[in-house]
Amino acid sequence: MNPAATVLPHARRIGRATGRALVQADRALWAIPLTLLATALISRQQAADSLRFTVESLLALAPFLALSILFAAWSRASGVASLAAKVFAGRLALVVPVAALFGAISPFCSCGVVPVVAALLAAGTPLPGVMAFWLASPLMDPEMFVLTAGELGTPFALARLAGAIGVGLLAGYGTWGLERFGALQLPLRTCTRACHTALSGTARFAFWVEPERRREFTSAAVEVGGYLAVWLTLAFVLESLMLAWIPADAIGSLLGEGWASVSLAALLGVPAYLNGYAAIPTVAGLFELGLPQGAGLAFMIAGGATSIPAAMAVYPLVRFRVFAWYLTLALVGALAAGFVLTAVS
C-alpha cells in the first residue's frame, strides 16, 4: 500500500483543522502584535513587561492547557461525549452542587478555567454543571481560603467560600431553568461538523485502534489547541496592561460606603481584573479606609469570576447568549453575596 495514500489525507485534515483554528482566531492574531506595538509606542518598558508577563502566564497555564486540549481531542475522537451526556442526563440536581463544590476548591483563575470549560463542553457535559464549575472555580481554593482567613479574618473567609459555592449553585440551577425553556442550546460557538459527529457517534475509549479516530484526535487537538492558545495569549496581554494601568486599588477607592457601595463594587468588579490572591491585600486596605465588608465581597466575587481579559478568551468560545448569561451570573452572584453579607453583618 502506498504510504502517501494514508499520510496525505491525514496531513490535509490537519491542515484544514489548523486553517479553521486560525480563521476563528484571526482577530486575535492581529490584535496581539498591534496591542504590543501600540504599548511600545507609549512605553517600551511596559511592552517588554507585558510580553514577559504573557509568556510567564502561558507557561504557568501550559500543563492545564495541554490536559484540556488532550481531553477535548480524546472526547471527540472516542465519541465519549455521547456517553457523558447520557450519564449526566436527569442527574443535574446532583451534578450542579458537586460541580459548584469542586469549582470552589479547584486552583483555576478566571482565564485558567477557560480551557477546562472548553474541554468539558466539547465532551458533552451539560451546561448547568459546566456553569456551576465555571463561575465558582476562580473564586476560592484551599490556599486562598487560608490566606483570606489570615489577612481578613476567618468569618470573611467563610463568607467568601460560601459566596463561591453560592454563585456556582446560582449559575448551575439558573442555567438549568433556562434550558428547560429551550434556551442556551448548543453553547459552543466553534462546534464544527466533527464535533457534532462525535456527539452522535458510538463511544470507544481506545480510539487509537481505529485509523479514522486517530486522525480525528490529531485534527481536534490542532484545532482546539490553536484556538485556545491564540485567544488566551491576547487575554494575558490585556491583563498585563490592566494590572499596570488600572490597578484594583484605584478602582476600589471609588466605591464609597453604604448599601449603594455593594452595587457599585459589583459593577466595577466585573470589568476589573482582580486576581484571587492579589485581591486579599487590596481589599484589606479598602477595609481600613472604611469600605463595608459586603462591598468588599461583591468586588472580590465580580472581579474574580469575570474580567475583560477572561471575557476576551470566553467570547469566541461560546455563543453570544451563553456569554451574556455568564456575565449576568457574575454580576447577580456578586450582588447577592454582597447584600447577604451586608444584611447579616
pLDDT at residue 185, rounded to an integer = 75
Q: Which residues pair with 318 in a beta bridge?
A: 188
Contacts (Cβ under 8 Å, ≥6 apart) of 232 = 58, 61, 65, 111, 114, 115, 313
pLDDT at residue 27, rounded to an integer = 64
The type of residue at 75 is: S
pLDDT at residue 83, rounded to an integer = 59
8 Å CB contact between 215 and 10: yes
H or E element that contains 68? helix 44-78
Q: Which residue range(s) make up the domain with 118?
A: 3-344
8 Å CB contact between 266 and 331: yes
CA torsion, points 104, 117, 74, 78, in degrees to nearest 10?
A: 100
Contacts (Cβ under 8 Å, ≥6 apart) of 138 = 108, 109, 110, 112, 113, 276, 304, 305, 310
User: Residue 129 and residue 113: Cα distance in Å, rounded?
Assistant: 14
pLDDT at residue 205, rounded to an integer = 64
Name the nearest CA neighbour of 296 among 319, 274, 321, 312: 274
The type of residue at 314 is: V
Report the number of distinct structural domains present in the chain: 1
Q: Helix 293-305 crosses helix 259-269 at what angle (to 10 degrees)?
A: 20
User: Residue 277 and residue 221: Cα distance in Å, rounded?
Assistant: 32
What cell does 104 get?
470552589
pLDDT in tens, the chain (345 residues): 444 344 344 444 434 444 444 444 566 678 888 989 999 999 999 999 999 988 988 887 788 778 767 777 776 777 665 555 555 556 778 889 988 988 888 766 666 677 777 777 776 778 898 899 888 888 887 778 887 888 888 999 999 999 999 999 999 999 998 988 877 777 877 554 434 444 445 656 677 777 777 787 888 788 777 777 787 787 778 778 877 886 655 665 566 555 678 888 888 777 766 666 667 777 777 787 677 889 889 988 888 777 666 677 677 778 888 888 988 998 999 999 999 998 887
What cell does 41 get?
509606542
pTM: 0.68
pLDDT at residue 78, rounded to an integer = 74
